[in-house]
A and B are shown apart, each in its own frame.
Chain A
Amino acid sequence: MSDLIEVRNLGKTYRKATGLFNHKEIIALAGVSFTLQAGETLAVVGETGSGKSTLAKLLVGIEQPDQGEIWYAGSQINCSEYRKTNQFIRYIFQDPARSLNPNQKIAEILHAVLRYSTVLSFEQREQKISQTLRLLGLLNEHANYYPHMFSGGQLQRVALARALILDPKVLILDEALTALDPSLRAQIVNLLLELQQNTGIAYLLITNQLRLVRHFADHTMVLHRGECLDYGPTAEIFANPAHEFSRKLINSVQY
């Protein structure tokens, strides 16, 4: 069976002008490779500036890679085919309150997603929306609400609905669980785990919370200054991290 996502030697360098003719190069990501199977979770940990978010942006096509290839289910993805790839790789931002348009009702937000990416008719879209809302434990009436009428946990569910409405194969959670309160976080984690069991969706979990990584992720990757220091099964990485930096990171959360 081929891998759901295979990333080979992915790299990204940002150029920053420091004068009229000079520029400084910042290597955000230097040759990272990994694979992701269906129904699996890969956690990406590292400090700020380690290239975690750059990796996520490259995968969804917000940024173009300078080197390397992304393969999805046996075929290579080009950045120009963003419309095609955004159906199976979806992205959730850190703060749902800021990533949803406050001027639009939930129904409008979800309709827009379907209108851009599918050929469904209005009735079919309505049906799909109510189906997705119910899947995430929301009610049909919630479609007529504005984002500010929801509490934090519910908003995160709406953000999840926006991502899941296209039935993606991969979901990228960029610090999506960090800002939530503990009891709400437990609810969302349960929801994600349930979804993974039922639909075989794969997660790319970008986070600072190593406790969650340990519970949630099958594989872990430690990034530091754009380089991949450790990559392997979570239990192995936590038991004996290969690199000095990963050891420091893991020891900072004493068990």
Chain B
Amino acid sequence: MQLLDIRNLTLELETPDGIVRAVDRVNLSLKEGEVRGLVGESGSGKSLIAKAIMGVLHERWHISADRFSWCGEDLLRLPYRRQREIISRDIAMIYQEPSRSMDPTAPIGEQLAESVPDHLLEGVSWWQRGYFRRKRAVNLLHKVGIRDHQAVLNSYPYQLSEGVCQKISIAMAIAKDPKLLIADEPTTALESTTQAQLFRLLASFNQLKGTSILLISHELETVAKNTDTLSVLYCGQLVEAGDTAGLLQNPRHPYTDALIRSVPEFQPDLGFKQQLYALHGSIPTLQHLPIGCRLGPRCPNARKECVKTPQLERQQSHFFSCHFPIQRSSADE
């Protein structure tokens, strides 16, 4: 079943210099039990999209979309209270830098108990509720692989390592059994052994409970290993989307191609200390975005037509938006 279906999501911000369009007509869809990766560089609007789904964007942002449906209900057209109700019931998010997104003045146990939703406690008499909440908090800690729960429950966020904090924020997120878990750069602050643990944890929730996961990251290699489908963003435009394996093997958009070729891991025949493939130039700022395809000035095969924004083209389950897609597969055949 289609869980999340977004068509032409546009996020605009009014600034003194005019309207800045940070996210430009992005499509995103998620099925039940799907793990989707959202890849893009800093400033490409990944976190903005996640916040738009959560409904926590600042009110200065103008959100518009042709369709923004969650389980068949259009979230943008619902009254505010109903919208909050649905989101808080079904969607959970893990933020960047876990130790900063927690309350520094309260011990972990208190924060965890607070995140247990009320509907799980129905039928429990009021004098027992505190006890049940604490019991549930301990349970959650065990679920995310923290065995020494007593020490963790009594400590404050600053006393714990970043990896443990990240696990606790996952525990808070799964307290309400969400249908969709949005993980915004969950591993940037962690080292590689902890990273592997965390991805195994997320994968196990996906398989045991059927939780859909939207994994946001700028590291293509980690996303590629842990997702089924992939969307690639550049400067707020969706450049390519499709199955992870197919997309990595046969990228159609020059930007995706450049991303893949810049990672040594995906290049088995790259010699030791050889030059990596890199696009020249750097990411444009939001105030000075190029018109049309935003990759235009950096693109190796840009032509005159690229000043018009390309339409999203479809080949089976593979979407890309480029006037001159790479034709590698047909050349091979």
Q: Which residues of A come within 8 Å of B, CB atoms? A: 47-48, 151-154, 181-187, 189-190, 193-194, 196, 208-212, 214-216, 248-249, 252-255
Bound form: Cα–Cα A183–B275 in Å: 13
Q: Check: B128 CB closer than 8 A to any chain A CB.
A: no
Nearest 9 pairs between A and B by C-beta?
A: A186-B262, A186-B278, A181-B41, A215-B264, A252-B196, A186-B276, A187-B278, A252-B193, A47-B191
Are B196 and A152 closer than 8 Å at their CB atoms? no
- Interface flags for B164-180 (1: CB within 8 Å of A; 0: not) read 00000000000000000
B191 contact from A151, A152, A194, A208, Cβ within 8 A: A208
- Given the interface pairs A48-B191, A252-B195, A252-B196, the reply to whether A182 lies near B273 with Cβ below 8 Å is no
Q: What residues of A have a CB within 8 angstroms of the CB of B218 in the complex?
A: 181-182
Task: Please give me the residue from chain B that is nearest to A137 by CB atom.
Answer: B280
Between-chain CB contacts (< 8 Å), 15 pairs? A47-B193, A48-B191, A151-B283, A181-B42, A181-B283, A182-B219, A182-B263, A186-B262, A210-B192, A211-B265, A215-B272, A215-B273, A249-B192, A249-B193, A252-B192
Task: Please give me the residue from chain B that is nearest to A193 by CB atom.
Answer: B273
Are B193 and A212 closer than 8 Å at their CB atoms? no
Bound form: Cα–Cα A184–B265 in Å: 16
Q: A181-B218, A182-B218, A182-B262 are in contact. List 15 more A-B contacts (CB 8 A).
A: A47-B191, A151-B282, A151-B283, A181-B42, A182-B263, A186-B276, A187-B280, A193-B274, A208-B192, A214-B264, A215-B276, A252-B192, A253-B192, A253-B196, A254-B225
In the complex, how many angstroms separate the beta carbon of B107 from the nearest chain A beta carbon? 23
- Interface flags for B201-238 (1: CB within 8 Å of A; 0: not) read 00000000000000000111100010000000000000
In the complex, how many angstroms separate the beta carbon of B253 from the nearest chain A beta carbon? 13
Q: What residues of A have a CB within 8 angstroms of the CB of B273 in the complex?
A: 193, 196, 215-216
Q: Check: B307 CB closer than 8 A to any chain A CB.
A: no
Task: Please give me the residue from chain B that is nearest to A234 by CB atom.
Answer: B272
Q: What residues of B have a CB within 8 angstroms of the CB of A183 in the complex?
A: 41, 258-259, 262, 278-279
Q: Check: B285 CB closer than 8 A to any chain A CB.
A: yes
In the complex, how many angstroms separate the beta carbon of A94 from the nearest chain B beta carbon? 12
Interface bracket on B = 20 to 34
Bound form: Cα–Cα A215–B264 in Å: 7
Task: Please give me the residue from chain A that is nearest to B298 by CB atom.
Answer: A183
- Residue among B193, B220, B221, B285 with the highest chain A CB neighbour number at 10 A: B193
Q: What residues of B have a CB within 8 angstroms of the CB of A190 in the complex?
A: 275-276, 278
Are A212 and B278 closer than 8 Å at their CB atoms? no
Q: What residues of B have a CB within 8 angstroms of the CB of A48 in the complex?
A: 161-162, 191
Bound form: Cα–Cα A215–B161 in Å: 30
Q: Check: B71 CB closer than 8 A to any chain A CB.
A: no
Task: Please give me the residue from chain A that is nearest to B277 by CB atom.
Answer: A186
Q: Check: B291 CB closer than 8 A to any chain A CB.
A: no
In the complex, how many angstroms separate the beta carbon of B289 from the nearest chain A beta carbon? 14
Bound form: Cα–Cα A48–B190 in Å: 9
- Residue among A181, A182, A184, A252 with the highest chain B CB neighbour number at 10 A: A182
- Residue among B259, B272, B282 with the highest chain A CB neighbour number at 10 A: B282
Bound form: Cα–Cα A103–B318 in Å: 48
Bound form: Cα–Cα A209–B285 in Å: 28
Q: Check: B121 CB closer than 8 A to any chain A CB.
A: no
Q: What residues of B have a CB within 8 angstroms of the CB of A216 in the complex?
A: 273
In the complex, how many angstroms separate the beta carbon of B274 from the nearest chain A beta carbon? 8
Q: Check: B106 CB closer than 8 A to any chain A CB.
A: no
Bound form: Cα–Cα A34–B5 in Å: 56
Are A211 and B282 closer than 8 Å at their CB atoms? no
Bound form: Cα–Cα A153–B259 in Å: 16
Are A182 and B265 closer than 8 Å at their CB atoms? no
Bound form: Cα–Cα A196–B273 in Å: 10
In the complex, how many angstroms separate the beta carbon of B237 from the nearest chain A beta carbon? 15
Are A211 and B221 closer than 8 Å at their CB atoms? yes
Bound form: Cα–Cα A210–B192 in Å: 8
A212 contact from B194, B264, B275, Cβ within 8 A: B264
Q: Check: B270 CB closer than 8 A to any chain A CB.
A: yes
Q: What residues of B have a CB within 8 angstroms of the CB of A189 in the complex?
A: 276
Bound form: Cα–Cα A248–B274 in Å: 28
- Residue among B219, B264, B275, B276 with the highest chain A CB neighbour number at 10 A: B276
- Given the interface pairs A190-B278, A211-B263, A215-B264, the reply to whether A151 lies near B193 with Cβ below 8 Å is no
Q: What residues of A have a CB within 8 angstroms of the CB of B219 in the complex?
A: 182
In the complex, how many angstroms separate the beta carbon of A80 from the nearest chain B beta carbon? 35
Are B262 and A185 closer than 8 Å at their CB atoms? yes
Bound form: Cα–Cα A208–B163 in Å: 14
Task: Please give me the residue from chain A that is nearest to B259 by CB atom.
Answer: A182
- Given the interface pairs A182-B41, A193-B275, the reply to whether A215 lies near B192 with Cβ below 8 Å is no
Task: Please give me the residue from chain A that is nearest to B44 by CB atom.
Answer: A181
- Residue among B42, B192, B219, B220 with the highest chain A CB neighbour number at 10 A: B192
Are A248 and B220 closer than 8 Å at their CB atoms? no
Are A211 and B41 closer than 8 Å at their CB atoms? no
Q: What residues of A have a CB within 8 angstroms of the CB of B195 in the complex?
A: 252
Task: Please give me the residue from chain B that is nearest to A179 by CB atom.
Answer: B188
Q: What residues of A have a CB within 8 angstroms of the CB of B276 in the complex?
A: 186, 189-190, 215
In the complex, how many angstroms separate the beta carbon of A182 from the nearest chain B beta carbon? 5
